[in-house]
Structures are given as C-alpha cells and as structure tokens.
Amino acid sequence: MSDDLQKLKKHIEEAIGLVAAEYGFAKRLHLDLEKIEKEEPQDAHKDIRKGFKILRWIGRGQRKVDRTEHKIFDDLESLGEILPNELKAEEEKLLKQLEIAEGKLLEAASMFTGELRDDLHKIETHEQLLEKFKDDERKEKIHAGLTKLFADAQEGIADLIKWLSSTEAILKGIAGFETKLESFSKV
C-alpha cells in the first residue's frame, strides 16, 4: 500500500502543478486579450501572435493534465480494492467528482482552444481591416464585430478558468484523502 500511496501522492502533486500552470496561462491570455482590445491595430498583430503561443501552451498543458488525472484514477482504483468500507465510500465520491470535473474541463478546454483559435484569426483579420480602411462607417462595423469576438473569447476563458479552479479544488481534496490514507496505513 505504501508504494501505491507514494505513486498517488506524486501524481496528485504533478496534476496540481499542471492545473496551476494551465490556470496561469489562461489568466495571461485573458490579460493579453484585454491589451489587444485596447491597442491600435498595427500594434495588435504582435500580441495576437503571443496569444496563439499561449493557446498552444494551454493545449499542451491540458493534454498533460488529462494523462496525469488518468494515472490518479488508476491509483485510486487500485487502492480502492484494499480500502476498508468507511474509506471506500469517500474514495468513490472523490473519483466521481474528479471524473465529472475532468470531463467538463476537457470539454471546456477542447471547445475553448478550437473556438479561441478561430476567434484569434478573426480578430487578426479584423485588426488588419481596421488598419486598411479609412472609411469611418466600415471601421465602425469592423469594430462592432471585434467587440463581439473579444466578448466571446473572454467568456470562453472565464469558463476554462472556472473548471480549472474546480479541478484544482478536487485534486486538493484527493491530496487530503491521500494524507488520511497515509495515516491509516501507519496504524
């Protein structure tokens, strides 16, 4: 049981670190989008490129989080076979919570990265059009489209951040459970 607990502890710490990093990337992208929204079109291009880079980091981070969460599932399931009944119920509850949060996070991250990539391409195109056109009427239409794109992107980021926070809280709950298991195994 001790080796299984050590593996679980290692995987939990790794997952919490990865989720925290992904959360940081999402916050950074949120700030970059706010900056792009306020910039002049000719200055926005460089920051949009940074946004694509951060988006790639988020995608990579999500894949790593997913792999680590599956390791945690496996660790908890193998420990569940040897747990007493009073701890087995808590283990099953934590597994279910992690499964739900992981599914929602995966859905949000997948939808988010695809939609946001499209939004960033559209924002880039709109910024280039704003730079090109001198006609105020056209600029107003383009600016209205940009405002909606920024709002959609910010909404996607907020949803991703919500699920990252939820997943991190559940992982910390599992870390507490692992500590309880550790003290139980010493008895």
pTM of the model: 0.78
pLDDT of the residue at 1: 59
pLDDT of the residue at 13: 92
If we measure between CA atoms, which residue out of 66, 159, 152, 146 comes closest to residue 116? Answer: 152
Q: Phi/psi of residue 82, each to 5°?
A: -115, 5
pLDDT of the residue at 17: 92
Q: Is pLDDT at 8 greater than 60 in this prediction?
A: yes
> Stretch 117-129: mean pLDDT, rounded?
83
> Stretch 116-132: mean pLDDT, rounded?
82
